Amino acid sequence: MGAMSTAPHTTVARVVAASFVGTAIEWYDFFLYGTAAALVFNRLFFPTADPVVGTMAAFGTYAVGFVARPVGGVLFGHYGDRHGRKSALVATLVLVGLSTFAIGLLPTYDAAGVLAPVLLVALRFVQGLGVGGEWAGAVLMVAERGDPRWRGFSASWVQAGAPVGLLLATGAFGLASLLPEADFLSWGWRVPFLLGVVLTGVGLFLRLKVLESPLFEKAEKPAGLPLVEVLRRHPRNVVLAMGARVAENGYYYFFTVFVLSYGTLQLEMPRELLLNGVMVAAVAHLVATPLFGALSDRVGRRPVYLGGAVFLAAFAFPFFRMVGTRDPDWVYLAMTVGMVGHAAMYGPQAAFLSELFGTRVRYTGASLGYQLAAPLSGGLAPLVATALLEWSEGDPWPVGVYLVLMALVTVVAVTQAAETRRRDLGDNP
């Protein structure tokens, strides 16, 4: 027993670090696009439209990445369940890194006409494929090893890679936006995208040094298509996982992407103030996510997750009141409180969704449930919210109703799901 107790902790620490860093880099790449869509892509790639229509067009191309995510989840889920989690993760990191770098090299509408937004959409789709296959693999590399009593806490560190990616992306854009406006629009916006290739190299170095998941190596591999087996054996859990994601995913992109365009276009607040607010909120999110993951190990996944959904439903309208003051302190507080509420869902989510599926199809099942919700909630949230604001002539009440409805969907789904905290991942539920 003595020899057994040291190695797993060392291995788990290394795997958590590799998954955390790799996930942070992939989300850096993905979030860069969201920030650029809110702040500059409407002018660079859709300049013939008025500001609101241009922003909606930019958010439309932003949503393409979310449409691609379920496709990536199925493709890499299939590969990960048949051939291994590690090799699938290496492929997703390369795919996202190279497509992000290529976005930084794109000609704008003034230089290439309609070809520019077409290429932008194509690269965004490739980005989405990679991110779609990333999440489940990174989570399973952690969840399928180590002490099951701390699975929620250890797997939540993979989730914590997202606020780090957001922090890096927002910080990079914040620094670039300090340039004179003409320089920022001509070349400054490209720098954060081009830097992504350096971070991709760091992530690859770490991921290549990690061993394959021991549960995967021992498990019987699916004879047919993992997707078919998931839909035949776990259809209810796929639907419940999607429902659990609706509020979590929708609120996240509301707090980090939509608020940038809302603040600049509707409230006429400085871009730098809003970017700083996102960064402050991302730090709070980074701290809160593992704490809620650990709490779910003590009291269960469902109570923590439900608490986050109910809190955000109650906070939807106060959020607009706080941001509407245009006071930096209230704006920062609103964004921070929102992201801490989100962390109550995000922290336990990695373990929760992993525990809904058996080992032989866990990559595909977790990916499918996680990513199918992405285009319906996170991908559409900024676009729907912008359209609702335009319809209400700037009054945010319809957006508040939309947010409450998303939270209610999640409350129903999590209430119907089984408590999975003590589930043995070696079993086939």
360-418 pLDDT per residue, tens: 899 999 999 998 988 888 777 878 888 898 899 888 999 999 999 999 999 999 999 99
Res. 331: pLDDT tops 90:
yes
Between CA 317 and CA 20 the distance in angstroms is 33
pLDDT tens-digit profile of 308-320?
A: 999 999 999 999 9
Tokens representing residue 43 in the block: 């002018």
Neighbours of 133 (CB within 10 A): 32
Q: 């070696």: which residue's tokens?
A: 426
pLDDT at position 375 is 83
pLDDT tens-digit profile of 221-256?
A: 777 888 999 999 899 999 999 999 999 999 998 888
Helical segments of 144-267, H only: 151-176, 181-183, 190-208, 214-218, 226-233, 235-253, 259-261
Residue of 300, 317, 352 whose CA lies nearest to 158: 352
pLDDT at position 5 is 37
Distance (Å) of CA 412 to CA 48, 239, 342: 43, 11, 17
Between CA 355 and CA 37 the distance in angstroms is 35
Written as one letter, the residue type at 139 is V
Distance (Å) of CA 171 to CA 101, 175, 183, 249: 17, 6, 18, 22
Mean pLDDT is highest, among 35-44, 192-201, 293-302, for 293-302
pLDDT tens-digit profile of 143-181?
A: 988 788 899 999 999 999 989 988 898 888 888 988 998
Cα 252 to chain centroid distance, Å, stands at: 8
pLDDT at position 9 is 42
Between CA 77 and CA 137 the distance in angstroms is 8
Segment 88-95 mean pLDDT: 91
pLDDT at position 12 is 79
The mean predicted confidence, pLDDT, of the chain is 88
Among 17-31, 55-69, 80-94, the range scoring the smallest mean pLDDT is 55-69
Res. 4: pLDDT tops 50:
no
pLDDT at position 189 is 93
pLDDT at position 49 is 63
Q: Domains in the chain, please, with CATH?
A: 2-416 (1.20.1250.20)
Q: Cβ distance 66 to 377 under 8 Å?
A: no
pLDDT at position 428 is 57
In 3-state terms, what secondary structure has residue 390?
helix
**283-301 in b/e burial notation, b at 16+ Cβ within 10 A?**
ebbbebbbebbbbbbeebb
Tokens representing residue 112 in the block: 């290439």
Handedness of CA 365, 369, 372, 378 (dihedral sign): negative
pLDDT tens-digit profile of 24-67?
A: 988 888 788 878 877 788 888 877 766 676 676 777 776 788 88
